[in-house]
Every structure is written in structure tokens, then in C-alpha cells.
Amino acid sequence: MIQLDDSNLGLLAHKLEQKRQQLVDTAAVQGMENEETLSISQELDRLILAYQKSKGD
């Protein structure tokens, strides 16, 4: 497992929040079953997993 320092963990948390907001915005306009919405959701899932692994949770 790769441990990130606090600054990299903070950057990852910031990316997570940006991707989450992108998902909310896209879903509001395109709909929940839209291909772009689903793709962003999958990207967010990957970021969440990376964050959890880096924190050791």
C-alpha cells in the first residue's frame, strides 16, 4: 500500500470534492442514467478507493 503525505492526501481529497460536484452538476443536467454521468460516477468511485487505501481504512 502506498502511503501519501498530508499534502498529497489533501490534494486527493480536493480532487474527490471536485469530482463529486461534477457528478452532481452533470446528473442534474444530463440525468442519472446518462453515459457521461455514469462515467464520472465511476471515476469518483476510483478516487474514493484510492483515498481509502491511502488512509489505510
pLDDT tens profile 1-37:
455 677 888 999 999 999 999 999 999 999 999 999 9
* 26 in any annotated domain: yes
1 located within any domain: no
Q: Is residue 34 part of a domain?
A: yes
**Is the residue at 27 inside a domain?**
yes
Residue 22 exposure: Cα atoms within 13 Å on the Cβ side: 15
What mean pLDDT do residues 34-52 have?
Answer: 97
Q: Provide the residue range defining the domain that includes 15.
A: 6-55
Q: Given the C-alpha cell 461534477, which residue does it identify?
A: 22
Q: How many domains does the chain have?
A: 1
User: For position 1, what pLDDT does the model report?
Assistant: 44
φ and ψ of 56, to 5 deg: 80, 15
Q: Which residue has the higher pLDDT, 45 or 3?
A: 45
Q: Is residue 51 part of a domain?
A: yes
